[in-house]
Structure 1
């Protein structure tokens, strides 16, 4: 019996060690599961992403500013080239200039450069998402496919990315800011007579004849500012060759017939139009009511979270100065940047925003429509550059 005791002790020790090994294996499996979470993206797909987000690639034009609104720009490991062309954004966040920029424009992605950036997942629109999914195993989280850009969509996208990055309070802060701005405008303009709602024409590109029609996000902003869209009787929805979706070019004869009270341009100067005899019959020209569109982190002639707040206030101040005597647009811009981007703008930066000077560095629409925003050649391993049906959805 005494001889059996050591054997029993050894057997018990061995069983104890074996059980411990099994326990450790179970813990590893549990940890792997607890390190990820599943989300449903804006395309309705279920995607598994890490709980601890450290490296994310974000592809898109207007949506590229949202990580900075959420305060998670340090999580970015790859961006679009357009983000790096933004002089103001590069000043606010110098690190962005050091990141890989695999995406040139919608549907043009350097896959090798994307893989080199080693993201945990990619945030992208439908065209870019399809390319990434086809050529890599990187998880893709999609935002809205179409750039309707209205207030509801803008808030939905900011809220969604707030959930992805687990910054719901930051997303809510932005949404509340936008809601309060629209509420302020609505209350201030509630009793505005119809005959005081000035007709506004957005004359983009070097021709100043490319515009947004009925049902567009731009029309929503124009109406929020107590004005009417000159192009409200035409539809510019869908894709036109060489032009961003949602835009179309009209004729000078059509513009003269509309006879807008205010013209907003994103190219050149008001003097260019004042000195051109072709425009002389239009009320906005006669009354010197042509204005250069501001531009900041991103151009204001595309739907972005920033311009959704600031553009309508800027236009309302121009169209109805007597109703907004207490509003200083420079103060409003500084306030927005301080509260939402947590960045203190200088006077010089505000002046550059209001003059539209930043547009020349951002590119996009303000550089001309025919080919400008579609260029992105010269890079290796580009995929999906020929998706004609959707290419201009989310530049």
Structure 2
């Protein structure tokens, strides 16, 4: 019969076992996290195995394309319209809308288990990050301002989520689309480039200056922004304008963010004196699942440039827009639009 160990020896053994267990847990936790440097240059610690992400409004389209299964929910001021889901994977219709910008519910982010938030590098747009520190969610900033930076953002996110192949596939697909747009318009003389007015607001009287990244689609498509501004203009700056000034600018083409704006402009007698209205060159930008111009700004600007170039220079940009759109959506959203979907997209 074995002798029972002394009580002190028993507790020493138990304490040793507990210490070893805690040390193992600590080692596991350390191994499951990693330090990174995001695209704004900040160092931060993130989980190695990221499974739930909240992408702020401008970062959201990249996550939808690269890792939709990691999305905790949409980041939009209001819930997405039903037609949006015709262009996204079916399972995405089940995601909640967590709100965007100041409307985000931080407690809800905690409740749904968000591990990482995606923000962006623009200095004036990084203020929301301070809020997330209160709920211990690291904010990883990526580039979303200029279209040329999006391939790097896709590659960065591919590394962050251990999906390097997918990140590279999207980066290359976007580079090819942008290259095709540039090739079609890069040799157009300035004298042949039409003046474009971008009607961003519902009433059509808010726009973006030619120095704003939000209007870069116009340049890439072989046009000239009708609103020339002096001095620095940030991506978020809006430019109010009145009918009198518009008559002075007299654009060749008007592009509207909202479909109803195009209809209003064509029916409103105040706009009737403009060259663009007289010639019937008022076009609404395609907007599913994300706008092809901006709000949110995204890689969809590549398709926006191809679409607008075909409107501005049909003799130079003769290509199968519907076919190219199907290919682009299949690659980026995992859904091939039907002809009916494309009719909806281009009828806006």
Shorter-chain TM band? 0.7 to 0.9
> 1:288 Cα shift?
1.0
Deviations 1:185-241 (A, max 9, x none): 332234323221111111122321211102222432211111111012356835xxx
1:277 aligns with 2:276: no
1:41 aligns with 2:34: no
SS across alignment from 1:52: coil
> 1:97 Cα shift?
4.2
Q: Which residue pairs with 1:107 in the alignment? A: 102
Q: Which residue pairs with 1:189 in the alignment? A: 185
- Equivalent of 1:165 in 141, 161, 164: 161
1:223 aligns with 2:222: no
> 1:57 Cα shift?
2.2
1:313 aligns with 2:306: yes
Question: What's the C-alpha RMSD, in Å, of the aligned pairs?
Answer: 2.9
- Equivalent of 1:52 in 42, 49, 53: 49
Q: Which residue pairs with 2:116 in the alignment? A: 121
Deviations 1:19-50 (A, max 9, x none): x9587765544333222211112333222222
User: For residues 311 and 79 of structure 2, what CA distance do their matches in structure 1 show?
Assistant: 31
User: For residues 109 and 325 of structure 2, what CA distance do their matches in structure 1 show?
Assistant: 35
Q: 1:196 to 1:79 in 2, by over 3 A?
A: same
Q: Which residue pairs with 1:246 in the alignment? A: 237
SS across alignment from 1:49: strand
> 1:300 Cα shift?
2.9
Q: 1:185 to 1:59 in 2, by over 3 A?
A: closer
- Equivalent of 1:80 in 60, 64, 75: 75
> 1:317 Cα shift?
0.2
1:344 aligns with 2:336: yes
**8 A contact 2:34–2:47 mirrored in 1:** yes
Q: How many residues align?
A: 329
User: For residues 21 and 262 of structure 2, what CA distance do their matches in structure 1 show?
Assistant: 72
> 1:66 Cα shift?
1.4
- Report matched runs for 1:281-300 at 5 Å: 281-300=273-292
User: For residues 156 and 112 of structure 1, what CA distance do their matches in structure 2 show?
Assistant: 32
User: For residues 230 and 41 of structure 1, what CA distance do their matches in structure 2 show?
Assistant: 36
User: For residues 63 and 200 of structure 1, what CA distance do their matches in structure 2 show?
Assistant: 27
Q: 1:172 to 1:106 in 2, by over 3 A?
A: same
Higher relative contact order (CA 8 A, sep 6+): 1
Instruction: Give the TM-score normalised by structure 1.
Output: 0.74
User: For residues 84 and 279 of structure 2, what CA distance do their matches in structure 1 show?
Assistant: 36
Q: Which residue pairs with 1:263 in the alignment? A: 254
> 1:269 Cα shift?
5.4
**8 A contact 2:89–2:334 mirrored in 1:** no
- Equivalent of 1:152 in 141, 148, 151: 148
User: For residues 48 and 86 of structure 1, what CA distance do their matches in structure 2 show?
Assistant: 36
- Report matched runs for 1:128-139 at 5 Å: 128-133=128-133, 135-139=134-138
Q: 1:245 to 1:25 in 2, by over 3 A?
A: closer
Q: 1:89 to 1:83 in 2, by over 3 A?
A: farther
User: For residues 299 and 342 of structure 1, what CA distance do their matches in structure 2 show?
Assistant: 18
Instruction: Give the TM-score normalised by structure 2.
Output: 0.83
Q: Which residue pairs with 2:324 in the alignment? A: 332
**8 A contact 2:50–2:161 mirrored in 1:** yes
User: For residues 37 and 88 of structure 1, what CA distance do their matches in structure 2 show?
Assistant: 39
> 1:80 Cα shift?
1.8
- Off by >6 Å, runs of 4+ in structure 1: 22-25
